[in-house]
Amino acid sequence: MAKKTIRDIDVKGKKVLVRVDFNVPIQDGEITDDNRIIQALPTIRHIIENGGRAILFSHLGRIKTEADLAKNSLDQVAKRLSEHIKQPVIFISETRGKALEEAVNKLQDGQILMFENTRFEDLDGKKESKNDPELGAYWASLGDVFVNDAFGTAHREHASNVGIANHIKETVAGFLIEKEINILGGALEHPKRPFIAILGGAKVSDKIGVIRNLLEIADQILVSGGMAYTFFKAKGYEIGTSLLEADKLPLAQELLTIGKDKIVMGPDLVTSKAFAPDAEKFIRPVTAIPVDEMGMDAGPETIEKFTQIIIDAKTVFWNGPVGVFEFPKFAEGTRSIAEALANIKESATTIIGGGDSAAAVIQFGLADQMTHISTGGGASLEYLEGKKLPGIECITEK
């Protein structure tokens, strides 16, 4: 990449601001998936092992009310990071103020400090999310250099990425952002072929730009999941009570016309009469969905068709599950796609585009069988659309 990275600077003795993406899922007070913490470790280790003073910060969840503050503190994340990094992590439970400034100034070479959830600043006027210039300047004043390693927020112009970069001498990429751009960029610019994209998930609207861009690049686009029913409806099929974006039907028709044989859809699906984990399931042709049933998963013939295409692929990008994988009864399609990708790990580059696809691969225990699991669902999609990401653009050019 043409941007400066952490390799290009000397961190010894410097206060190194690091925007990480520790927006990890938490259930009943427990972190259920710490992949994003693990992915940030190489950058953090590089700083402390080379004599830098690491000052880490991240967002966690959304802050709309006072009640959101307690459940979205980064304190529990700092403890988990300490376990992984095997040294203490100093935690400051505020986003600005005297206690934070004093703690930063007391830091010694090789130490790590984390301050509180940047979105705590959103409680009063969305200062973080709206890139308040005063807030960006304040955070920039705490350090000597800024390392942006939060790919998950690279598509957003926030005070904690662009805001800091606008008020500090030098901004560089961490190892995670470098890895994301190299792998995703490589897939777009010089993919080994056949290049297959698998797009699922709930909404067509989330992936309009991606489909348009991939139609120029990919050899085939496999469409499934909740978004597929809008395409089926556009073909004139009955879809029962399945997910539908009625306002996107003209767009789906247009994409089908433009895509022609590049857009591949399955011949069958699994349906049920209710959205419930214990609902009775039926296998139906896509042309014969009863009016009182909804699509819940890819059918066996669809799984077989997609698997045969995947077997021959050399580059695969997957974003969006093909069924309601959270319900074991309707997880077979998503699991089969993950297993098919795992089976070609020696011969192909397999990229999981974050979000629910990443959660599924991790849930099925297949994460280490993939070439790369992106830490940014929205960011990876916008990158694949060909958009410029503010969190990448603000990094200093080499």
Q: Is 274 helix (H, G, I), strand (E, B) or coil?
A: coil
For residue 397, what is the DSSP state?
B
Confidence band for 174, pLDDT divided at 50, 70 and 90: very high
* Beta carbons within 8 Å of 83's beta carbon, 6+ residues apart: none
Domain boundaries, the chain: 6-179, 191-384
**What percent of the chain is modeled with pLDDT above 90?**
86
Residue 302 in this model has a pLDDT that exceeds 80: yes
Instruction: Report the amino acid identity of residue 83.
Output: E
DSSP H or E segment with residue 149? none
Confidence band for 150, pLDDT divided at 50, 70 and 90: very high
Confidence band for 319, pLDDT divided at 50, 70 and 90: very high
3-state helix, strand, coil in the chain (%, to 5): 45, 15, 40
Burial status of residue 295 (CB atoms within 10 A of its CB: 0-12, 13-18, 19 or more) = buried
Residue-wise pLDDT for 63-81, tens only, equals 999 989 989 999 999 999 9
Calculate mean pLDDT across residues 47-53: 98
Which pLDDT score, from 0 to 100, does residue 381 have?
A: 87
Q: In this structure, are strands 294-298 and 268-272 parallel, antiparallel, or unpaired? A: antiparallel
Which pLDDT score, from 0 to 100, does residue 205 have?
A: 85
Q: In this structure, are strands 30-31 and 195-199 parallel, antiparallel, or unpaired? A: unpaired
For residue 396, what is the DSSP state?
P
Residue-wise pLDDT for 260-297, tens only, equals 899 999 999 999 999 999 999 999 999 999 999 999 99
- Whether the model clears a pTM of 0.85, i.e. scores above it, the answer is yes
Which pLDDT score, from 0 to 100, does residue 81 have?
A: 98
Confirm whether 6-179 and 191-384 share one CATH topology: yes
Structure tokens at 315: 């580059």
Q: How far apart are CA 393 and CA 395, in angstroms?
A: 6
Domain 6-179 sits in which CATH superfamily? Phosphoglycerate kinase, N-terminal domain (3.40.50.1260)
Mean pLDDT of the chain: 95
Which pLDDT score, from 0 to 100, does residue 1 have?
A: 61
DSSP H or E segment with residue 222? strand 220-223
Which pLDDT score, from 0 to 100, does residue 148 have?
A: 98
Q: In this structure, are strands 220-223 and 195-199 parallel, antiparallel, or unpaired? A: parallel
Q: How far apart are CA 322 and CA 262, in angstroms?
A: 18
Calculate mean pLDDT across residues 225-249: 96
Backbone φ and ψ of 187, nearest 5°:
-65, -35
Confidence band for 208, pLDDT divided at 50, 70 and 90: confident
Backbone φ and ψ of 219, nearest 5°:
-80, -35
Confidence band for 105, pLDDT divided at 50, 70 and 90: very high
Distances (CA, A) of 111 to 45, 87, 94, 106, 274: 10, 9, 19, 10, 53
Q: How far apart are CA 230 and CA 224, in angstroms?
A: 10
Confidence band for 375, pLDDT divided at 50, 70 and 90: confident
- Residues annotated as catalytic are 36, 203, 355, 378
Least-confidence region, from 237-251, 303-317, 341-355, 373-387:
373-387
- Yes or no: say if 28 and 157 are a contact pair by the CB < 8 Å rule: no
Calculate mean pLDDT across residues 327-331: 97
Structure tokens at 123: 């409680």
Residue 362 in this model has a pLDDT that exceeds 80: yes
Of the candidates 298, 377, 303, 296, the residue with the CA atom closest to the CA atom of residue 339: 303
Q: What is the CATH number of domain 191-384?
A: 3.40.50.1260
Residue 187 in this model has a pLDDT that exceeds 90: no
Backbone φ and ψ of 26, nearest 5°:
-130, 130
Calculate mean pLDDT across residues 118-142: 96
- Yes or no: say if 150 and 165 are a contact pair by the CB < 8 Å rule: no
